[in-house]
Amino acid sequence: MSSCIDENNYYGGEQDVTEAVKIRLYPTDEQKKLINQNIGNRGFIWNKMLVKIKYENVKPTQKTLNNILKELKNEYSFLEKSESSSRQQVYRDLIKAYNKHKKEGAGFPKFKSEKNPNISFRIQANNNNIRLNERKNRIQMPTIGKIKFKTSKEYKQKIQESKINNITIKHENGIYMGIININTINTPLKYCFEAVGIDMGIRRPLTCSNGLKIEEFDLTREEKNVKYYQREMSKKQRGSKRYCMAQKRYWQALNKKINKKNDQYHKITHHIVKNNQVIALETLNIKGWFKNKHWAPKL
């Protein structure tokens, strides 16, 4: 039986933290073009800089890459259509990826392509250039303008009351999302004297020492719809009107499957964290499991 300290006594007290809040964006056709332009330009700049690093032995420092960026802007005028901070963010991300490769043994940064696409870009907040109009459900961003968005009332209020650091705009599976990084005040959960050990598996994702067992989610219907629309797309000519309609339905089915799974995971993890002070897990190579053809799910 768990025992909790008084409600007013929090472990560590309130803390200033950074938090990511995800919102759904509904851009106009013109705004979609601007967003896609920014995304494409980010991948273009990344590849040009990576060529210099990989084949011309350029040392990836902020000064050298910033000079390369200036040369690219002079040579390719279409880069001026991108938001300035999103262009600068490219070499910051590239330096970070390169240092991770050198110091932590991660893989060498990869070129952006159709197989390894770049589907997002980031705008840094500066002089109130990213701001929320809560009443009209619009978010103002440089170069793109006011975009309609949707999120919960709780998150809307949190964004309004917090300092915005940056926003990452992402285009995936036919939908546009905004991930807003904010500085906010976090109130920790109540301190509970309870510990749990968790055994992870494939057939049964979680088995807890307190008797809680999490079975595999039933996504049969969602997976059936995803495969159906995949077959429909394969029967149509790429780029045709019918192909685009089938692709739109495929994206809807895929997003429904992803959202259902994520919703279940969030509820389970929140329940475990809220009701336990200590959580013990095995050190397992989960990614390695899914590389095994006998264990990995057949999609």
Mean pLDDT of the region 133-150: 88
Q: Which residues contact 210 (CB under 8 A, 6 or more apart)?
A: 196
Is the pLDDT at 163 greater than 80, yes or no?
yes
Helix (H, G, I), strand (E, B) or coil at 201: coil
Which pLDDT score is estimated for 48? 94
85-89 average pLDDT score = 91
pLDDT of 37 > 50? The answer is yes
- Within the chain, where are the H helices? 29-55, 62-75, 84-104, 153-161, 220-234, 241-274, 286-291
Distance CA 231, CA 224 (A): 11
Tell me what pLDDT residue 69 has. 94
**Range of 31-35, 282-286, 295-299 with top mean pLDDT:** 31-35
Query: Mean pLDDT, to the nearest integer, of 268-283?
Result: 85
Q: Is the pLDDT of residue 113 over 70?
A: yes
What pLDDT sits at residue 3? 43
| Model confidence at 5: pLDDT above 50 | no
pLDDT of res. 74: 92
Q: What's at 295, amino acid-wise? A: W
